[in-house]
Amino acid sequence: MNEEDILKQVHEMVGSTMLGALGIRFTRIRPGYLEATMPVDDRTRQPYGLLHGGASAALAETLGSFGSHLLVQDSGGLAVGVELNINHLKSKRGGEVTGKATILHQGKRTHVWNIEIADEEGHTVAVSRLTVMIREGRG
């Protein structure tokens, strides 16, 4: 399946999930690398009007977990995020952010992803590292 077909399939699935609720949209999907955007609006801001750290964490976990899913789905594997670390470096009040996830380690039992979240000008808003557990089968 090519990147365009995968993007279309993913966007059809996310409507009633947290991804849909937060407005997360994948823009690039390749083995070991993914990008997605998320608006900074009433859905993703905290009461002080800033991008909520939990929304950034959701974007980071989404990118890494889905990236691992794509890498193991053909072998029947199951990818589950087990640890997320995120540092919030810059505040954001509006517009959108883009997350870029790159796999750092692709082992049989674990994957480790680096995720950088930036604003429209390319300034880093947050950096994250996600560890994903890979299980055999679906159960």
Q: Which helix (H) or strand (E) holds 54?
A: helix 53-72
Contact 63, 115 (CB under 8 A): yes
Catalytic residue among 3, 35, 61, 120: 61
Amino acid in position 136: E
Question: Is 61 assigned a catalytic role?
Answer: yes
Q: Tokens for 13?
A: 């699935």
Q: How many CB atoms within 10 Å of residue 33? A: 14
* Catalytic residue numbers, as ranges: 61
